[in-house]
């Protein structure tokens, strides 16, 4: 399998001879106003440009959308993605939302999805702590991750926009992934806290899956991201887990 970090949570996975684009955000730098009520709301995002051209990003067999927040599928993506592209979504609500944008080939990940011999399982997550969800569950909504399995490939788990919780532990214990992709940019809502994972969660993942390769993504490109790559790499070094945790730059690829 080959992993390519594009920008933010947008990544490309080449897996069992098929290619998947995850959570496409395709706008140019500074296209959108900061998320209201979040850290650094005065800063426009994306805070960086895409590292490659749109055509090469969209040259895939399918797109997986973990949830429909605008930092996971944006207006530019709605405009640029061909309307007949196969899109996998987490539930009926997201299907309806995306269908309204004119897309014609949408499949819901139903727990039993097989695409070209690849098993795609949906996993649960929570976009903030229990305390945050009590106040903001409506706004933060339902989020998912997924697991890819194929006989010729390592099992891959992408957790999505979730904090570390029992959903994540259950997914790791159930599927025993050899590759774990974590949205680790520590997006923050002031006074409430993190709404995705941060640096400490990379260590938690390593402790639960000591042989897995962990890839940290969803870093630095949105206004409310609090964790820099430099700080995360420092933490990884301090905890002697550099061999297991990768922090790719935008445009960087790994074969694993």
Binding stretches for Zn ion (CB under 5 A): 71, 161
What's the CA dihedral at 170, 177, 14, 150 to 10 degrees?
A: -100
Q: Whose Cβ is closer to Zn ion: residue 71's or residue 220's? A: 71
φ, ψ of residue 205 to 5 degrees: the values are -65, -40
Q: How far is the CB of 50 from Zn ion (least distance, A)?
A: 17
Nearer CB in complex with Zn ion: 156/219: 219
Nearer to Zn ion, 145 or 177 (CB): 145
Give 71 or 74: the residue with its C-beta nearer to Zn ion: 71
Instruction: Report the nearest approach of Zn ion to the CB of residue 84 (Å).
Output: 26
Q: How far is the CB of 8 from Zn ion (least distance, A)?
A: 7
Which is closer to Zn ion, CB of 118 or CB of 219? 219
- What strands lie across the sheet with 10-15, from one edge to the other? 106-108, 87-89, 62-64, 18-22, 10-15, 2-7, 253-255
- Taking the complex as a whole, how short is the minimal distance between the CB of residue 240 and Zn ion, in angstroms? 29
Minimum separation from the CB atom of position 230 to Zn ion (A): 21
């Amino acid at each position: 399998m080959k992993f390519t970090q594009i920008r933010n949570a947008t990544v490309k996975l080449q897996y069992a001879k098929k290619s998947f684009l995850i959570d496409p955000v395709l706008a140019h730098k500074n296209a959108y106003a900061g998320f209201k009520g979040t850290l650094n709301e005065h800063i426009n995002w994306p805070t960086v440009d895409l590292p490659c051209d749109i055509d090469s990003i969209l040259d895939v067999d399918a797109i997986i959308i973990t949830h429909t927040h605008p930092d996971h599928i944006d207006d530019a993506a709605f405009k640029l993605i061909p309307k007949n592209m196969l899109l996998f979504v987490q539930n009926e609500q997201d299907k309806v939302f995306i269908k309204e944008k004119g897309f014609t080939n949408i499949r819901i990940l139903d727990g039993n999805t097989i695409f070209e011999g690849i098993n795609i399982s949906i996993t649960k997550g929570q976009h903030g702590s229990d305390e945050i969800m009590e106040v903001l569950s409506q706004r933060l909504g339902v989020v998912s991750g997924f697991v890819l399995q194929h006989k010729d490939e390592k099992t891959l788990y992408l957790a999505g926009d979730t904090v570390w919780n029992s959903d994540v532990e259950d997914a790791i214990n159930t599927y025993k992934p050899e590759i774990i992709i974590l949205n680790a940019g520590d997006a923050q809502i002031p006074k409430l806290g993190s709404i995705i994972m941060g640096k400490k969660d990379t260590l938690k993942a390593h402790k639960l899956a000591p042989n897995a390769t962990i890839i940290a993504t969803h870093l630095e490109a949105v206004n409310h991201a609090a964790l820099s790559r430099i700080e995360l790499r420092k933490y990884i070094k301090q905890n002697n887990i550099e061999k297991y945790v990768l922090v790719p730059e935008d445009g960087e690829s790994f074969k694993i």
